[in-house]
């Protein structure tokens, strides 16, 4: 039992289960999944689908935070990527063709990658603190997205592009499959190769890892580039969900949600260690929470309040001081029976 | 108490003790002008400010009029107050993301309480106190539970923003006579320079902050923590108390900012001040304060706010430029300043 409660993911998973239980109590058919038109339907599937963009952004964020960085620009990249792809499709002669959509996706992802590389350049080569380096793109990025859409909310009809956000494949949402695929890829890359360890070593001490032969600069650059790329992908999914490029509101506050998800999942902002499965749980908690608020009938505008409460609870439970108090109490309890035996 | 009297010894000495092979031209100029290196970033901000004024004055008629410049202070009084509070936090090496939401909470509470018939004499201090309390809670989270400032203030931001919607999802107009009278009060300095009550309050806050930072033990401790928390603790400075207090200062400033915003807009709306914390941080950075802490000035932050405000003014004057250019220009300016700061700090180490 103590093994379980001591596991790093115990509190986040407990919070997620508590949320799901609360929902089921409120609406007994909450966890029911039915098959309709050959697709799976139900609240759990909704959660998985709504979680996809946040999952992608949070994946990149996890890696960036593991190197002791932070990426505030992801929301702006989401907006730029959505604006670029939809504007391209809208101006193309044949918005419904697959080749147009693929080209639009390629352009949006390419630009997102470039933006990520730009952040990486500022952090690893110029040596600016990550929070400020990415603040620059966060501020300017939405302006750039507005420039692309010319301040309009571009609406587009394109069946192939719509598939990305609202389509189903093998009964599951395409968005979920994309995010799941990227998650597995990153997990394999970081945990089955040395990459994850190198990322952590850079997070613990960049100078020492450089002296030990780790290309710290390249690693930092890579994680920022990946964060940009994943945010671009998230932007595509979000854009295809609503089929409208809204430069002002697309991905608004997604950087904060992503950072929350990462922190709830037990990855420390101090860098040096990260947990992809923790981030997954964090993302699911935030998405479930958002859905819960809607289901219970509270105005979605109040959601931030609940997010704040979850964050405060989880971070306080993970804080060293409370852990020590718990550990001290557990030690006392463990010591008492021994005295009796002696 | 009088032991810290010889102030020059702390500022002037590091130069000669470390000889440098090459004197850069910039430094040579600075030396000729007798500018301490610590003031260089602020001087940079001042140069940019002057440059914008010159460009604006050359391009548009009436740009350099007292009316436009007075409006600059009137329209940005709440941002000045926010930036002053943010300066304290950033000087210790922390960051406060909650100020925009706390500003909204304070403005919404003010409108709600006045609407409910609570007298203005109670409401005014109460809403400022709301900011202080949230700042205190954040400070305790940061200090006692060792939560990173980024996360603690992020939680504070979500908390305050959520509370706004709980109190009032819709905009509440303020019609209370006393409040409107205070908000509408203004005076003409020199016959041409209009100062509203908000401007007076913001200038008093700046003066108070300047005094706190440079003439009290609290201020010196703030700088010391930013320079090195461990060293500050070993010196026996009250690090714990100061670290909590800077968030209280920032929260109080945000509460006061909300009050000024309510005066400015004569209403309280839950969605005010979204992303305003970024404007405040940008102003502080453009004003020459290093985000690593320990270096920077309150007056620099005020200059930073004025630079942001002037960019907005220029884009309004230009007319054909769309509003989103503001964001792009501010981003570009941030980039220039941050790179400049980086170059300056590189040269120092």
Condensed to tens digits (0 to 9), the pLDDT of residues A33-90 reads: 777 777 777 788 888 888 999 999 999 999 999 998 899 999 999 999 999 998 888 8
**Do B145 and A146 make contact, defined as CB atoms within 8 angstroms?**
no
Evaluate if residue B15 carries a pLDDT over 50: no
pLDDT of residue B346: 66
CA distance to partner chain B, nearest, from residue A31 (Å): 28
Instruction: Rank A245-259, A303-317, B148-162, B182-196 by mean pLDDT and report only the highest.
Output: B148-162
Pick from A128, A144, A256: which is nearest to B328 by CB?
A144
Residue A152, phi then psi, degrees to nearest 5: -95, 160
- Token pair 């923003």: residue: B161
pLDDT at residue B27, rounded to an integer: 65
The predicted-structure confidence for A151-161, as pLDDT tens digits, reads as follows 777 777 777 78
Residue B339 belongs to domain spanning: 38-54+63-348
Confidence of residue A107 (pLDDT cuts 50, 70, 90): very high
Examine the pLDDT at B105 and tell me if it is beyond 90.
Answer: yes
Question: What's the mean pLDDT in A272-294?
Answer: 89
**Is residue A80 within 8 Å of A112, Cβ to Cβ?**
yes
CATH number at residue B176: 1.10.3470
In a domain, B23, yes or no: no
Judge whether residue A299 has pLDDT over 60: yes
Q: What is the DSSP letter of A112?
A: H
Q: How many residues does chain B have?
A: 349
Counting one residue from chain A and one from chain B, the pairs whose CB atoms sit within 8 A come to 127
DSSP 3-state of A244: strand
**In CATH, what is the architecture of A2-335?**
Orthogonal Bundle (1.10)
Quote the pLDDT of residue B32: 64
Is A315 in contact with B282 (Cβ distance < 8 A)?
no
Cβ–Cβ under 8 Å, residues A308 and B137: no
Cβ–Cβ of B165/A260 closer than 8 Å? no
Instruction: State the average pLDDT over residues B56-80.
Output: 88
Confirm whether B11 is domain-assigned.
no
- Chain B neighbors of A144, CB-CB under 8 A: 328
- What is this structure's pTM? 0.83
Name, in order, each residue with C-beta under 8 angstroms of A18's C-beta and a sequence gap of 6 or more.
none
- Nearest-Cα distance to chain A for B178, in Å, is 31
Chain segment B224-282, per-residue pLDDT in tens: 999 888 899 998 899 999 999 999 999 999 999 999 999 998 888 888 888 888 889 99
Q: Is residue B305 assigned to a domain?
A: yes
Cβ-Cβ contacts under 8 Å, A132 against chain B:
285, 291, 334, 338
| Nearest Cβ partner for B155 among A132, A302, A312 | A312
Query: Residues 65-94, chain A: which have Cβ within 8 Å of B?
Result: 70
Q: Do the domain assignments include residue B292? A: yes
pLDDT digits (tens, 9 = 90+) for A171-224: 788 888 999 999 999 999 988 888 888 888 888 888 888 888 888 889 999 999
Count the Cβ atoms, other than its own, within 10 Å of residue B119: 12
Helix (H, G, I), strand (E, B) or coil at B189: strand
**In chain A, what are the domain boundaries?**
2-335
Q: How far is A241 from chain B (nearest CA, A)?
A: 25
Residue B2 lies in a domain: no
> Is residue B6 included in any domain, yes or no?
no
DSSP result, A159-180: HHHHHHHH-EETTEEHHHHHHH
Q: How many domains does chain B have?
A: 1
Q: Do B325 and A143 touch (CB under 8 A)?
A: yes
Out of B144, B169, B281, closest to residue A301 by CB: B169
Enter the ipTM: 0.80
Instruction: Judge whether residue A228 has pLDDT over 60.
Output: yes
- What local confidence, expressed as pLDDT, does residue B8 receive? 41
Mean pLDDT of A275-288: 92
pLDDT at position B169: 83
């Amino acid at each position: 039992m103590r093994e379980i409660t001591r596991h790093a993911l115990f509190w986040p998973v407990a919070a997620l289960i508590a949320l799901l239980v609360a929902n089921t109590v409120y609406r007994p058919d909450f966890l029911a999944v039915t098959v309709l038109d050959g697709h799976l339907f139900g609240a759990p599937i909704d959660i998985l689908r709504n979680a996809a963009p946040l999952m992608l952004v949070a994946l990149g964020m996890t890696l960036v935070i593991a190197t002791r960085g932070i990426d505030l620009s992801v929301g702006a990249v989401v907006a730029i990527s959505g604006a670029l792809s939809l504007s391209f499709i809208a101006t193309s002669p044949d918005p419904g063709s697959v080749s147009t959509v693929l080209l639009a996706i390629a352009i949006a992802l390419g630009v997102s990658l470039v933006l990520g590389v730009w952040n990486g350049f500022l952090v690893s080569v110029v040596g600016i603190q990550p929070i400020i380096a990415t603040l620059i793109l966060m501020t300017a990025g939405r302006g750039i997205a507005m420039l692309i859409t010319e301040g309009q909310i571009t609406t587009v009809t394109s069946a192939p592009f719509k598939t990305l956000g609202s389509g189903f494949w093998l009964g599951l949402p395409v968005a979920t499959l994309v995010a799941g695929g990227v998650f597995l890829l990153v997990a394999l890359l970081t945990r089955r190769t040395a990459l994850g360890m190198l990322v952590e070593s850079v997070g613990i001490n960049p100078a020492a890892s450089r002296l030990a032969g780790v290309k710290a600069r390249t690693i930092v650059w890579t994680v920022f580039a990946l964060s940009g790329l994943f945010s671009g992908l998230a932007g595509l999914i979000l854009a295809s969900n609503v089929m409208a490029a809204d430069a002002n509101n697309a991905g608004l506050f997604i950087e904060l949600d992503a950072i929350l998800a990462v922190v709830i999942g037990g990855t420390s902002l101090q860098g040096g260690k990260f947990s992809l499965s923790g981030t997954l749980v964090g993302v699911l908690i935030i998405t479930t929470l958002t859905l819960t608020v809607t289901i219970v009938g509270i105005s979605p505008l109040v959601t931030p309040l609940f997010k704040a409460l979850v964050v405060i609870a989880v971070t306080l439970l993970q804080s060293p001081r409370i852990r020590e108090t718990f550990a001290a109490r557990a030690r006392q309890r463990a010591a008492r029976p021994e005295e009796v035996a002696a | 108490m009088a032991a810290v009297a010889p102030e020059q010894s702390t500022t002037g000495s590091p130069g000669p003790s470390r000889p440098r092979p090459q004197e850069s031209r910039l430094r040579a100029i600075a030396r000729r002008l007798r500018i301490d290196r610590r003031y260089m970033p602020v001087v940079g901000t001042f140069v940019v400010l002057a440059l914008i004024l010159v460009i604006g004055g050359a391009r548009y008629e009436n740009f350099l009029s007292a009316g436009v410049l007075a409006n600059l202070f009137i329209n940005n009084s709440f941002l000045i107050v926010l930036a002053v509070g943010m300066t304290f936090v950033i000087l210790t090496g922390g960051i406060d993301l909650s100020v925009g939401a706390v500003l909204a909470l304070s403005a919404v509470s003010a409108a709600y309480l006045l609407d409910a018939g609570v007298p203005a004499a109670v409401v005014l201090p109460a809403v400022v106190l709301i900011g202080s309390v949230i700042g205190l809670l954040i400070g305790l989270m940061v200090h006692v539970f060792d939560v990173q400032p980024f996360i603690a203030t992020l939680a504070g931001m979500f908390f305050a923003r959520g509370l706004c919607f709980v109190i009032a999802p819709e905009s509440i107009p303020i019609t209370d006579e006393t409040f409107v009278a205070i908000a509408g009060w203004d005076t003409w300095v020199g016959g041409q320079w209009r100062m509203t009550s908000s401007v007076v309050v913001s200038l008093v806050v700046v003066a108070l902050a300047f005094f706190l930072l440079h003439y009290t033990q609290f201020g010196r401790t703030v700088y010391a923590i930013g320079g090195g928390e461990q060293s500050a603790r070993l010196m026996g400075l009250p690090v714990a108390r100061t670290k909590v207090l800077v968030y209280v200062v920032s929260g109080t400033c945000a509460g006061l900012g909300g009050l000024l915003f309510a005066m400015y807009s004569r209403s309280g709306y839950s969605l005010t001040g979204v992303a305003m914390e970024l404007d405040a941080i940008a102003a502080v950075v453009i004003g020459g304060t290093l985000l690593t802490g320990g270096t920077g000035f309150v007056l620099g932050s005020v200059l930073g706010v004025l630079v942001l405000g002037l960019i907005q003014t220029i884009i309004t004057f230009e007319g054909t430029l769309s509003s989103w250019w503001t964001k792009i220009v501010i981003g570009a300016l941030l980039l220039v300043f941050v790179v400049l700061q980086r170059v300056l700090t590189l040269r120092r180490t």
